[in-house]
Amino acid sequence: MVLLLVLALTVWALDQLSKQWALASFVQGEAEPFLGRILQFTLVFNPGAAFSLGTSFTPVLTVIMASVSIAIVVASTRVRSSWWAMSLGFLLGGALGNLTDRLFRPPGFAHGHVVDFLMLPNFPVFNVADSFITTAAACLMVAAFKDIPFAGGSRAHSEEVDHA
């Protein structure tokens, strides 16, 4: 649980600090090359979900993010696997990063727009929180594929102990 919460706090802080930096450094809609065309910075305010979907449902997205965050905190008391703790820490930190924007950024409480500023070719503009949410999704897929149990250890080992 400690690992999960430390990672979540770290991801949230990195996300919020990077957004503050982007707000102070870039003009909305103007691309600033960083690694040529591979990675550019461009400031965008996103009222929707991933890929700017659901732009008219910002309050609903806010409730969903808050619910997911609460569910992860509740589940964290049962996590014994460091893999799951890392994955859920990344997910919680990313969700809280974007939730913070939804709650406290203009145009108002629960209607706030998420600050995005990282741009790759042929891909929507995103932020640090989005990167960690995507990383968490990949880690959770690995956990499912490798059958890593939520409470730690391996399923085979758990079954051997149960039969002993």
Residues classed as catalytic: 116, 130
Residues 6+ apart with CB under 8 A from 14: 93, 128
Residue where the block lists tokens 């391996």: 154
84 by Cβ neighbours in 10 Å (0-12 / 13-18 / 19+) ranks as buried
The amino acid present at 97, given as its one-letter code, is G
Residue where the block lists tokens 């709650």: 103
